[in-house]
Structure 1
Amino acid sequence: MRRLQLDLQFFAGEKTEKATPKKRQDSRKKGQVAKSQDVNTAISLLAIFGFLFVGAAFMGKHILGFFRHSLQNYMLMPVTEANLKIIVLETMQQLIYILGPVMLVALLAGLAANYLQVGFLLTGEPLKPKLEKIDPIKGFKRIFALRALVELLKSILKIGFVGTATFIVLWSNIEEVLKLSFKSVSDALQTVGVLTLKMGLAASMALLFLALLDYLYQKYDFEKNIRMSKQDIKDEYKNAEGDPLIKSQMKQRQREMAMRRMMQEVPEADVVITNPTHYAIALKYDEEKLDAPYVVAKGVDYLAQKIKYIAGENEVTMVENRPLARALYDQAEIGDPIPEEFFKAVAEVLAYVYRVKNKL
């Protein structure tokens, strides 16, 4: 028997269940999401080389103009504090023109890659210092863990894919490469630039393919890490619903408050219809509030006796009508008007009450 209990505890603690929505939300708030850094790198490189492939001519003109202006003007200027300030400001301005668009494209590509993977997420939880990160024992475990082997395999695949992609580009343009020695410096630089952009685009697409595979692995690993045991799910449900004892106490207090409010309405009732011993229904007719009489209190057994006691103390008329009392108790709720089928019977009761009180 003891062995069976231990086995049940083991299986209850084993993380075999998918994470609940609350668990996923809590993990997301902590910055724990399925994300591949390789996707960011691949998309950023692809965007940068794509931009360079389109805007290389524009950047080349600015670079040549900057060197020409430097050789024609800066080399002939005397070295003074004012001239150095001018040179620095103009150089910074040219660098912004040349490198600014590239950096902007890289920034937008990085933001797009993150948004595609995890959506909008802003949290500072990963930036908080954690002592467990400098724990040497856990550090050794991370080094020799399965994830380390996966990262090693990814690095080997990256080198292989990038090398293969660049080799294919060079081999397909081998004639241009062999003719470089016969070209002028400007033509050779142009050919090298075009080949570099082609190799960059090919390598970026190869990395993007690997990044997609890595994202699938990261998603699988993330789902595995956030799995829950049956006991975790029970504890989460208990925390969400609250302690059953506290919950029952709150419901009891709510019932007591509702009963007190109901009893406070009894003295304002026009009539109390009784069983006479088991049921009591207090009715009131206020044409400014509702078009039909409505229930202000109802009860059975002990509660019915209490309603009749309060009604007697406040001189509220009580009428014995067994079938009507039972039917109203079953079909009418507190605060609601009586059902239409009881209009005639209740009207006769109220007419009797008004005659007794000389209100007609």
Structure 2
Amino acid sequence: MHLKLDLQYFAGEKTEKATPKKRQDARKKGQVAKSSDVNTAILLFFVFIILLVIGQSLGNTMTGMYSKSFTEYIHLAVTEEQIFEMFLDFTIQIGIALAPIMLIAIVAGFASNFLQIGFLFTSEPLKMKLSKIDPIQGAKRIFSVRALVELVKSLLKIIVVGIITFSIIWMNKDEMIMLYDKNVTSAMAFFGSMTIQMGLAAAIALLIISVIDYAYQRYDFEKQNRMSKNDIKDEHKNIEGDPLIKSKIKERQRQMAMQRMMSQVPEADVIITNPTHYAIALKYEESKADAPYVVAKGVDFVAVKIKDIAKHHDIMMVENRPLARALYAQTEIGQVIGEEYFQAVAEILAYVYRVKKKIK
């Protein structure tokens, strides 16, 4: 009994990692490995850090506002102008007091996003899609593994934050009982300090959870974007068949060929010119070829470039219009010149060598 395996069946399984193009396409759609919990944890941490730094100043501002309300504003006449002035004063004071917190929150939000996905702006996720309101797709999302993970994560966060809150309250219970013997300022300072302790502890705990969640999000992203061998083959076919990409590849190849050719010009023995439209760089190296060969050639702009490089490297240029045109038309780069041009080129090289010898 013989078992036959159809390898085409396995070719359809998504076992391969996503290609760079697949990742780029997903990124354009806003599909990236990202954990919103990282944003929340970093935001909370830095907000409570800034509260720890400016907490006393913020408390003094709030106390001053209450004091001013009951010492100055209470004696003012209740008019539209007075109410507007009082509202404007309170708004400015609150704005100044909260400005550092708002600023650090904005910076932390941008920084946490940048750390995870870099700079990314796309409107693709905001577009209306029928799949978003499809009840079948919605049911699949509700009962998916991702939904279960999100549920477990939410319960874990509630439990952790609850334990942290209870623990800090329990540790400070004795001082809380004695608050009846303290003034309002001391009580506010105590509750402010305890709130910051809770916030920082919760932020650190959430940061640990968010790191684990980010690792899961990366794993899930890689899993969702896996490709089959057929997908990769189809992608390659599409890329190769794209006229724009083809033209870019050809342009890049032309640029690289031009750079290679220009890098050989300083090695030439002589440049034969038209003199304006054609330039042919020749080299004779007995160990490489039995006759002179072309190392670079060009017309118009390329010819000007060849001549500029030749001038910079003190390579002699000889004007011979018929020879320049003939060599350009009949000889490729790296190719030895034809026998019919041996005599003319030999005379030119002999002249060049004599001049170089005199200069030396």
Please indicate, yes or no, whether the TM-score normalized by the shorter chain is above 0.5: yes
The equivalent of 2:286 in structure 1 is: none
Offset of residue 347 of structure 1: 2.2
Distance 1:291 1:230 in 2: 48
SS of residue in 1 equivalent to 2:15? coil
Distance 1:139 1:164 in 2: 34
Distance 2:27 2:336 in 1: 51
The equivalent of 1:277 in structure 2 is: none
Seen in structure 2, the aligned counterparts of structure 1 residues 345 and 103 have a Cα distance that, compared at 3 Å, is closer
Offset of residue 61 of structure 1: 1.3
Distance 1:349 1:115 in 2: 63
SS of residue in 1 equivalent to 2:14? coil
The equivalent of 1:167 in structure 2 is: 166
Count of residues paired in the alignment:
277
The residue type paired with residue 10 of structure 2 is: F
SS of residue in 1 equivalent to 2:227? coil
1:164-190 C-alpha deviation (Å, 9 max, x unpaired): 222332333343233223323322221
The equivalent of 2:238 in structure 1 is: 239
Contact 1:34 1:118 survives alignment (8 Å): yes
1:186-243 C-alpha deviation (Å, 9 max, x unpaired): 2222112111111111011111111111101111000101111111100111111118
The residue type paired with residue 69 of structure 2 is: S
Offset of residue 335 of structure 1: 5.0
The residue type paired with residue 132 of structure 2 is: K
Distance 1:67 1:58 in 2: 14
Seen in structure 2, the aligned counterparts of structure 1 residues 12 and 336 have a Cα distance that, compared at 3 Å, is closer
Greater Rg over alpha carbons, structure: 1
Offset of residue 51 of structure 1: 0.7
Contact 1:294 1:338 survives alignment (8 Å): yes
Distance 2:173 2:272 in 1: 100
SS of residue in 2 equivalent to 1:71? helix
Distance 1:133 1:52 in 2: 40
Offset of residue 13 of structure 1: 1.8
Distance 1:136 1:78 in 2: 61
TM-score (norm 2): 0.69
The equivalent of 1:274 in structure 2 is: none
The equivalent of 1:347 in structure 2 is: 343
TM-score (norm 1): 0.69
The residue type paired with residue 187 of structure 1 is: S
The residue type paired with residue 59 of structure 1 is: L
The equivalent of 1:64 in structure 2 is: 63
The equivalent of 2:210 in structure 1 is: 211
The equivalent of 2:17 in structure 1 is: 18
The residue type paired with residue 334 of structure 1 is: E
Gapped runs of 5+ residues in structure 1?
252-283, 296-315, 318-327, 352-360
Contact 1:17 1:229 survives alignment (8 Å): yes
The equivalent of 2:304 in structure 1 is: none
1:39-188 to structure 2, matched below 5 A, reads 39-188=38-187
SS of residue in 1 equivalent to 2:197? helix
| 2:297 matches 1:334 | no
Comparing 147-156 with 186-195, which one deviates more in the overlay? 186-195
1:279-318 to structure 2, matched below 5 A, reads 286=273, 288=275, 289-290=279-280, 292=282
Distance 2:87 2:182 in 1: 36
Distance 1:188 1:291 in 2: 90
| 2:219 matches 1:220 | yes
Comparing 56-65 with 84-93, which one deviates more in the overlay? 84-93
Comparing 37-46 with 63-72, which one deviates more in the overlay? 63-72
SS of residue in 2 equivalent to 1:32? coil
Offset of residue 112 of structure 1: 0.8
